[in-house]
């Protein structure tokens, strides 16, 4: 709301020393995009290249906005994006922030994120796909449509697959509503590359490709600490060591999902902490209630089997 006001009134076309100049810093401040970028820096560990790209895109949008105000260009910039990376690397989280930035800069009316997968778009029977896809598009209008594992829309092995129909409707909307709908495709990098090779129309409409790297062990520990801090928990001294050990093992096991595995591990550790407190304490203080200790982590199955068998179907319980 505010973003639009500022963008559309000549008020921010402040005279920067006479003439009709636009103060870019003022525009940045007024739209509070800086606030979102700072929050991104604070709340997400690592992801340096991702943060850099988001800043670049934000600058580009600010400049586009300024150009428009000075009558330099009519066509809105192309904003459809592709986020590639392994599970749990922060794609959904960053997409939410991106939607917020786009909204603050007036590129979408509402700034909400609608997350879907193939099943939300594609029907089982003839005639079912178009209404499903259109319904989702209607919901996403004014915001960001986030399509997780987008490559499942395309199934070349089945020549009458309805996914193709969904892709065509999406392409049309991406072109015709580019001033009020941003589509972000997400998924594994190699599969997305294959998808783009087979879908030139989609490839040509994606302006920004952002790759999310896996986290290293130090980043995963920092992520654990940040998550705990946000939940008003912390690791005690032995707990820190145990968490480090946990990460070193978990990272090598099947189904490892970066920050998501950390969140799951912490959820289970909190359950164990609660049982431990119940069975061993009567009177508890705030510190006892918020401290996770080594045993809360070391009871995990991750520590039980040195051979790392493939029996671990879940998330490293």
Q: How far is the CB of 230 from ligand ATP (least distance, A)?
A: 9
Q: Is 45 in the site for ligand ATP (CB under 6 A)?
A: yes
Greatest pairwise CA separation for the chain in angstroms: 74
* Binding region for Mg ion (CB under 5 A) out of 21-29, 84-92, 219-227, 277-285: 84-92
CA distance 180 to 99: 11
Q: How far is the CB of 80 from ligand ATP (least distance, A)?
A: 18
Q: How far is the CB of 147 from ligand ATP (least distance, A)?
A: 12
Q: Which of 93, 225, 264, 290 binds ligand ATP (CB under 6 A)?
A: 93
- Cβ distance to ligand ATP smaller for residue 24 or 251: 251
Q: Which does 88 bind (CB under 5 to 8 A by kind): ligand ATP, Mg ion, none?
A: ligand ATP
CA distance 198 to 207: 17
* Binding region for ligand ATP (CB under 6 A) out of 40-48, 66-74, 116-124, 231-239: 40-48
Mask: binding to ligand ATP, 252-271, rule CB under 6 A, as x and -? Answer: -----x-xx--x--------
CA of 304: how far to CAs of 249, 259, 272, 296, in Å? 11, 22, 16, 14
- Cβ distance to Mg ion smaller for residue 69 or 92: 92
Joined together, the tokens standing for residue 141 give: 């209008």
Q: How far is the CB of 100 from ligand ATP (least distance, A)?
A: 14
Q: Which of 114, 169, 184, 223 binds ligand ATP (CB under 6 A)?
A: 223
Q: Which of 89, 164, 240, 300 binds ligand ATP (CB under 6 A)?
A: 89
Q: Is 106 in the site for ligand ATP (CB under 6 A)?
A: no
Q: Which of 12, 22, 30, 91 binds ligand ATP (CB under 6 A)?
A: 91
Q: How far is the CB of 260 from ligand ATP (least distance, A)?
A: 4
- 67-86 residues in contact with ligand ATP (CB under 6 A) are 85
Q: How far is the CB of 269 from Mg ion (least distance, A)?
A: 23
Q: Is 87 in the site for ligand ATP (CB under 6 A)?
A: yes
Q: Which of 34, 86, 92, 194 binds Mg ion (CB under 5 A)?
A: 92
Q: Is 44 in the site for ligand ATP (CB under 6 A)?
A: yes
Task: Give me the DSSP letters along the chain.
Answer: -HHHHHHHSGGGS--SSSTT---HHHHHHHHTHHHHHHHHHHHS-S-HHHHHHHHHHHHHHHHHHHHHHTT---SPPP--EEEEE-TTSSHHHHHHHHHHHHHHTTSSSS--EEEE-HHHH--SSTTSHHHHHHHHHHHHTTSEEEEETGGGG--TTSTT-THHHHHHHHHHHHHHTTTT-EEEEEE-HHHHHHHHHH-HHHHHH--EEEEEPPP-HHHHHHHHHHHHHHTT-EE-HHHHHHHHHHHHHHTTSTT--HHHHHHHHHHHHHHHHHHHHHHH-SS--HHHHHEE-HHHHHTSGGGT-TT--TT--SS--
* Binding region for Mg ion (CB under 5 A) out of 10-18, 55-63, 90-98, 157-165: 90-98
Q: What angle do CA 71, 72, 73 make, to 5 degrees?
A: 100
The contact set with ligand ATP (CB under 6 A) reads 44-47, 85, 87-93, 223, 226, 257, 259-260, 263
The contact set with Mg ion (CB under 5 A) reads 92
């Amino acid at each position: 709301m505010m973003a639009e006001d500022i963008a559309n009134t000549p008020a921010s076309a402040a005279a920067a020393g006479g003439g009709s100049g636009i103060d870019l810093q003022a525009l940045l401040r007024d739209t509070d995009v800086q606030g979102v970028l700072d929050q991104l820096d604070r709340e997400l560990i690592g992801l340096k290249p991702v943060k850099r790209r988001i800043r670049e895109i934000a600058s580009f949008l600010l400049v586009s906005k300024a150009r428009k105000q000075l009558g330099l260009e009519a066509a809105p910039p192309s904003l459809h994006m592709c986020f590639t990376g392994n599970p749990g690397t922060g794609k959904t989280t960053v997409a939410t922030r991106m939607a917020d930035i786009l909204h603050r800069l007036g590129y979408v009316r509402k700034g909400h994120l609608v997350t879907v997968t193939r099943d939300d778009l594609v029907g089982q029977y003839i005639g079912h796909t178009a209404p499903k896809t259109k319904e989702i598009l209607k919901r996403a209008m004014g915001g960001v449509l986030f399509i997780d594992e987008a490559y499942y829309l395309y199934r070349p092995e089945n020549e009458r697959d309805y996914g193709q129909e969904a892709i065509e409707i999406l392409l049309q909307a991406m072109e015709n509503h580019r001033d009020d709908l941003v589509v972000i495709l997400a998924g594994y990098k190699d599969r997305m590359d294959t998808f783009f090779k087979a879908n030139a129309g989609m490839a040509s409409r994606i302006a920004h490709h952002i790759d999310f790297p896996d986290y290293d062990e130090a980043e995963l520990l920092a992520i654990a600490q940040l998550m705990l801090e946000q939940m008003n928990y912390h690791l005690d001294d032995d707990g820190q060591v145990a968490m480090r050990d946990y990460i070193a093992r978990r990272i090598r096991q099947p189904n490892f999902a970066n920050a998501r595995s950390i969140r799951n591990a912490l959820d289970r550790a909190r359950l164990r902490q609660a049982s431990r407190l119940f069975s061993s304490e009567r009177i508890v203080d705030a510190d006892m209630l918020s401290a996770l200790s080594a045993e809360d982590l070391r009871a995990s199955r991750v520590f039980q089997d040195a051979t790392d068998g493939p029996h671990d179907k879940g998330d490293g319980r």
